[in-house]
A and B are shown apart, each in its own frame.
Chain A
Amino acid sequence: MTTTLPISLVPLVLWVLAATPAMKPDQAGSAALGDSLHLPGKTVFLRNGMAITVHEDHRAPRIVMHLLVRAGAAQDPQGVTGTAHLLEHMSFTGSASVPAGAFDAWLEAAGGESNAWTEHDYTAYSTVFPPGALHLALVLESDRLATLGYSQDPSAFRAQRQIVVAERSETFGLPHGRDVQALNAALYPESHPYHHPVLGWRQDLENMSADSLTSFWMKHYTPASCSLVLAGDLDTDHALDAAIARFGSIPAREPAPAPDLAPPPSPGGQRMVLLDNVADRTLYLAWLTVPRGHPDEPALAVAARLLTDSSWGGLAQMRIFRHFPFNKVQGWTSFRRLSGEFVLRVSSSGRPLSHLLRAVDGELERLERRGPTQDQLARLRAGFSSAYLRALEPLEDRAAFINDCLVTWGEPDCMARDLERYLAVSAQDIRGVVGRYLDVDSRLLLSVVPGRQPGAALAGSRVLEFR
């Protein structure tokens, strides 16, 4: 599963920014870096349990409001998958004081815009607007948080469900558009909350009623499940007072406990094949690893980078210098509340997937046996430092980072501390995690091949049905 901008800083720094690291900055650089990696702000916890943080940034006449709800697809009821995501869509269709169609119309007329994302662990709402629209933005956000569950319009529900069906069809209909979801479904057993796609199974969507959304909202959209960040061209005290006035009056409700499960079983060397409308052959190697915040998280993320960095990762070097015909080499890590994944992806037009597997296994073995070179580590460290700095530029990211810090570490200003975890990774740590987590017996091998070439899959692969 791809971890993404709103919640997970680490993959953002690793993969979204193509910065490449190296040694720690010199002394002057170190001082500048240390001073810069702070997001000063003021956080208050309301009596109803909601957290509100304000961060001033006057670079441009903009404000970002980032609302993080600690409920996502992992909380979808059994047989009603896609509930959290459809509720996110419905949240823009009106609430007690905001008629249908008005949320976007009012906000956009004031020079604002809004978007939202659903993941398994959370749902994030991001609104950008000029300083003069602060009051309007707070009215819109607080009204839907307070009253959304009571205002589900049947025609809006039908339209939004259709939009999600279109979204699903569009996403999964692209070449390789189903790969990651299928991989996820294969990695986690059916009983696990990460097994189903965020968009839901199609049959569940078609059978879903508006009542299930109301029920989800009542159970999970409680003030205590929410953390709001206001960042940008504002005055801290004024913005905080205004936000408290709007959100403080929402009655407290007991949040439903988040699922707390035993770690999922290892996929145990399974081989599967997804037959799809693709032109090339792709092999995924996937392992279950550790949840967000685990001490091994940085070393695993660094290992993925060491293997697949586009210019000097082990597999990329093989592609460039040894003419091994990988079309593509990718790797990523994802760390979520209950579990994490480590994924390598290689593809080729004509070379058998068994050859690709041998090449990857060779690199993994090399990394475990020898570890990274000092040069690679130096590049990584310098890259992390500058990537963390660059990640502070977009205002939207600043607001999301603050919420990520609050959720993960319980403090709004954690960037410097998070970076330190990455800079401290040693060659021994990397060899250790490769040996502990990335072994042959506990991985899943997923071949994705053209539907008319089932024989192109790795031998012994079982067909994976994913609709």
Chain B
Amino acid sequence: MSPESCRFRPMSGLLFLVACLWNGGICTAAQAPPFPVQVHQDLFRGLPEPELNTLSGGARVMLLARDDLPLVHLELCFLRDPATESPRTRAAMQLLRATHGDPLNLRDGAAVLRQLDLLGASLHTWLDDLSFSFQLDSPSWSFAEAFALFTGLLKQSEAFPSALRRLRRRALEQGRLSLDTPGRLLLLAERRAVFPAGHPLGRIPAASDFRSCSPSDLQALLADLLQGSSAWIALTGDFHSSSALALLESRLGDLSGGGAVPVIPPPGSGGQVVLVDHRGSRRSRILLSLLVEGDDQLQRAELISRILAADFSSRLNRLLREDAGLVYEMDTHLETFSGFSRIRYSTSVETSQTGEAVGIILRELGGMSDLGAWELERARATMLRDAVAPADGLSPLAATFTWLAARGISVGEYNQALLEPLPLEDLARTASRVCKPGNATWIIVGDREELEPQLEAAGLFPTSLWSARRAVTGE
């Protein structure tokens, strides 16, 4: 449930992590406060560094003990190699994910779930482009028992055909509903436009992949996932490190095998403008995707993301929302991989005002080489603010640890990267390169007849026209 009405929709869900990490802003000299405001780098203690260990089978362990609340959170994260996954494997993964951590749907876990309930424990799953994770929350007094139940369940391998049929039906139904959901169309179209079908991140399962997915596919998927060298375990909360490590070894020490952490190649350059026709739509959805490449792109991508959109005084939120009242919110979302990042700006606007909004965005993209020192300081302050936010909670902390591990970044490197000095001119050069038209992929979902003339008048010329079906199915 969300608040009935709020000033700005809080970011949530999966990207709590990314959302916590990436935001943005601008301040003109006229808006500078009448007293000095320091960016509180001295107060940025960074993320706490976990204690690192390796289990005998190869699984890596990150432990952070903290006794402020009698709770323990376990994040069991398996790194995947998207380059080896077929669309059918992806379908199997989505079906597994569709269980929402409730193995009752796939396995004979009813008795185990009941016992977890009685212990006050809960189990969830998480799926992103690079990993599949299981998350176990428990009061500290019952963690050992809950952990034993969970690992026992994890190593079972039966999948029930009837449950699978039900999940398949649900997945297909969701695919059908996507045709009428502009927000979903926007994301699917962007994924297809940025990552071609041959790219590891471009293998989107079709309805036929879901239909043909069998119990043995799920068993094979689990067997592939549960490998020692691809397993990262983050344990946070109220425990003693030595006994926790012994417990992990006793239940997960036999996880072995697996390959190296995969490196995803960046997609090709942008330059596409895709108009997805959604006839009769009274509002348009706009998504702008920018690629940031380079080994040192972590901090730069985040700052560019924050300067252009996110917080209320970011450039686009100031211009599109606060000044013009055209949009309710301008979101930015940053996805980071080893060697590249993808910034996605998105918003929704009345169909008749789409050209005006696009014109403002184009103008700001063109002006990104002209950055102010105040803008940089502000973006850096919000970046540090969000970097320490996960320290409040055991689950955000553990998720941050495994998120970094999946990208081959240690907590120390991350803390250092955020605080590294970055000259304004240097960032301006990167921003200018990242925001040039040839690096941008635009997706606009809305009524084609009304939008085409507006977009062309604004200086944005669609290179492809897709139907809603094309966005969902690729055909």
What's the least CB distance linking A11 to chain B, in Å? 6
Asked if A19 contacts B122 (CB within 8 A), the reply is: yes
Tell whether A23 is near chain B: CB-to-CB under 8 Å.
yes
B378: chain A residues within 8 A (beta carbon): 105, 108-109
Tell whether A379 is near chain B: CB-to-CB under 8 Å.
yes
Asked if B388 contacts A22 (CB within 8 A), the reply is: no
Asked if B326 contacts A132 (CB within 8 A), the reply is: no
What mask results when residues 3 to 25 of chain A are scored 1 for a CB within 8 Å of chain B, else 0? 11110000100011011111101
Asked if A163 contacts B381 (CB within 8 A), the reply is: no
A window 182-233: CB within 8 A of B: 197-199
Asked if A175 contacts B180 (CB within 8 A), the reply is: yes
What mask results when residues 379 to 393 of chain A are scored 1 for a CB within 8 Å of chain B, else 0? 100110110011011
Asked if B10 contacts A393 (CB within 8 A), the reply is: no
B window 86-140: CB within 8 A of A: 100, 102, 104-105, 113-114, 116-122, 124, 137-140
Asked if B313 contacts A111 (CB within 8 A), the reply is: no
Asked if A23 contacts B118 (CB within 8 A), the reply is: yes
What mask results when residues 103 to 119 of chain A are scored 1 for a CB within 8 Å of chain B, else 0? 01110111111111111
With A280-B177, A349-B173 in contact, do A110 and B40 touch (Cβ < 8 Å)? yes
Asked if A390 contacts B71 (CB within 8 A), the reply is: yes
A323: chain B residues within 8 A (beta carbon): 166
Asked if A320 contacts B114 (CB within 8 A), the reply is: no
With A102-B31, A392-B69 in contact, do A60 and B325 touch (Cβ < 8 Å)? no
Q: Which of B33, B68, B170, B176 contacts A102 (CB 8 A)?
A: B33
Tell whether A46 is near chain B: CB-to-CB under 8 Å.
no
A131: chain B residues within 8 A (beta carbon): 40, 43
Asked if A394 contacts B392 (CB within 8 A), the reply is: yes
Tell whether A89 is near chain B: CB-to-CB under 8 Å.
yes
Asked if A32 contacts B70 (CB within 8 A), the reply is: yes
Asked if A99 contacts B176 (CB within 8 A), the reply is: no
Give CA–CA (A60, B30) in the complex, Å.
Answer: 32
Asked if B326 contacts A310 (CB within 8 A), the reply is: no
Give CA–CA (A92, B322) in the complex, Å.
Answer: 10
What's the least CB distance linking B138 to chain A, in Å? 7
Q: Please, which residue of chain A has its CB at the minimum distance from the CB of B24?
A: A108
B window 7-65: CB within 8 A of A: 7-8, 10, 23, 25, 27, 30-33, 37-40, 43-45
A window 1-57: CB within 8 A of B: 1-6, 11, 15-16, 18-23, 25-26, 28-29, 32-33, 36
Asked if B31 contacts A101 (CB within 8 A), the reply is: yes
Tell whether B468 is near chain A: CB-to-CB under 8 Å.
no
Asked if B388 contacts A61 (CB within 8 A), the reply is: yes
B411: chain A residues within 8 A (beta carbon): none
Q: Which of B38, B117, B183 counts the most chain A CB atoms within 10 A?
A: B117
With A106-B31, A389-B69 in contact, do A60 and B388 touch (Cβ < 8 Å)? yes
Give CA–CA (A390, B396) in the complex, Å.
Answer: 12
Tell whether A408 is near chain B: CB-to-CB under 8 Å.
no
Q: Which of A15, A26, A88, A112 contacts B7 (CB 8 A)?
A: A88
With A2-B2, A385-B120 in contact, do A170 and B283 touch (Cβ < 8 Å)? yes
What's the least CB distance linking B445 to chain A, in Å? 13
Q: Which of B33, B44, B325, B389 contacts A109 (CB 8 A)?
A: B33
What's the least CB distance linking B317 to chain A, in Å? 9
A169: chain B residues within 8 A (beta carbon): 282-283, 350
A window 60-117: CB within 8 A of B: 60-62, 85, 88-89, 92-93, 99, 101-102, 104-106, 108-117
B116: chain A residues within 8 A (beta carbon): 20
Q: Which of B30, B120, B177, B392 counts the most chain A CB atoms within 10 A?
A: B120
B142: chain A residues within 8 A (beta carbon): 25, 29
A59: chain B residues within 8 A (beta carbon): 66, 68, 391-392
Tell whether A273 is near chain B: CB-to-CB under 8 Å.
no
Tell whether A279 is near chain B: CB-to-CB under 8 Å.
yes
Give CA–CA (A273, B422) in the complex, Å.
Answer: 59
With A163-B328, A169-B283 in contact, do A393 and B71 touch (Cβ < 8 Å)? yes
With A85-B5, A379-B117 in contact, do A130 and B141 touch (Cβ < 8 Å)? no
Asked if B3 contacts A5 (CB within 8 A), the reply is: yes
Q: Please, which residue of chain B has its CB at the minimum distance from the CB of A319?
A: B166
B window 147-163: CB within 8 A of A: none
Tell whether B413 is near chain A: CB-to-CB under 8 Å.
no
Asked if A115 contacts B43 (CB within 8 A), the reply is: no
Q: Which of A20, A113, A119, A161 contacts B385 (CB 8 A)?
A: A113
With A108-B381, A112-B385, A163-B325 in contact, do A36 and B70 touch (Cβ < 8 Å)? yes
Asked if B312 contacts A92 (CB within 8 A), the reply is: yes
What mask results when residues 170 to 210 of chain B are scored 1 for a CB within 8 Å of chain A, else 0? 10010011001101000000000000000000000000000
Tell whether B221 is near chain A: CB-to-CB under 8 Å.
no
Tell whether A166 is near chain B: CB-to-CB under 8 Å.
yes
A5: chain B residues within 8 A (beta carbon): 3
Give CA–CA (A114, B313) in the complex, Å.
Answer: 11
Asked if A60 contacts B7 (CB within 8 A), the reply is: no
Tell whether B466 is near chain A: CB-to-CB under 8 Å.
no
Q: Which of B4, B30, B40, B177 counts the most chain A CB atoms within 10 A?
A: B4
A327: chain B residues within 8 A (beta carbon): 170, 173
Tell whether B374 is near chain A: CB-to-CB under 8 Å.
yes
Tell whether A424 is near chain B: CB-to-CB under 8 Å.
no
B71: chain A residues within 8 A (beta carbon): 386, 389-390, 393
Asked if A389 contacts B139 (CB within 8 A), the reply is: yes
Tell whether A357 is near chain B: CB-to-CB under 8 Å.
no
With A101-B322, A136-B33 in contact, do A22 and B70 touch (Cβ < 8 Å)? no
Q: Which of B33, B68, B183, B393 counts the most chain A CB atoms within 10 A?
A: B33
B68: chain A residues within 8 A (beta carbon): 59
B100: chain A residues within 8 A (beta carbon): 310
Give CA–CA (A383, B121) in the complex, Å.
Answer: 8
Give CA–CA (A166, B4) in the complex, Å.
Answer: 15
Asked if A390 contacts B173 (CB within 8 A), the reply is: no
B122: chain A residues within 8 A (beta carbon): 18-20, 383, 386
Q: Which of B8, B25, B44, B328 contacts A170 (CB 8 A)?
A: B328
Tell whether B384 is near chain A: CB-to-CB under 8 Å.
yes
Give CA–CA (A108, B393) in the complex, Å.
Answer: 22
A112: chain B residues within 8 A (beta carbon): 385
Asked if A159 contacts B166 (CB within 8 A), the reply is: no
Give CA–CA (A4, B10) in the complex, Å.
Answer: 13
Tell whether A428 is near chain B: CB-to-CB under 8 Å.
no
Tell whether B1 is near chain A: CB-to-CB under 8 Å.
yes
Tell whether B333 is near chain A: CB-to-CB under 8 Å.
no
Give CA–CA (A394, B121) in the complex, Å.
Answer: 18
Asked if B5 contacts A111 (CB within 8 A), the reply is: no
Tell whether B348 is near chain A: CB-to-CB under 8 Å.
yes
Tell whether A277 is near chain B: CB-to-CB under 8 Å.
yes
With A102-B31, A375-B114, A386-B121 in contact, do A332 and B1 touch (Cβ < 8 Å)? yes
Tell whether B324 is near chain A: CB-to-CB under 8 Å.
yes
Asked if A117 contacts B3 (CB within 8 A), the reply is: yes
Q: Which of A29, A108, A389 contacts B312 (CB 8 A)?
A: A108
What's the least CB distance linking B291 to chain A, in Å? 26
Give CA–CA (A22, B121) in the complex, Å.
Answer: 9
Asked if A101 contacts B139 (CB within 8 A), the reply is: no
Tell whether B323 is near chain A: CB-to-CB under 8 Å.
yes
What's the least CB distance linking B332 to chain A, in Å? 14
Asked if A130 contacts B105 (CB within 8 A), the reply is: no
17 contacts between A and B (CB under 8 A): A18-B124, A19-B122, A22-B118, A60-B389, A101-B322, A104-B313, A105-B378, A108-B312, A113-B311, A113-B385, A131-B40, A136-B37, A166-B325, A170-B328, A383-B120, A386-B121, A389-B70
B interface residues with partner A (beta carbon < 8 Å):
1-8, 10, 23, 25, 27, 30-33, 37-40, 43-45, 66, 68-71, 100, 102, 104-105, 113-114, 116-122, 124, 137-142, 166, 170, 173, 176-177, 180-181, 183, 282-283, 311-313, 318, 321-328, 348-350, 374, 377-378, 381-382, 384-385, 388-389, 391-395
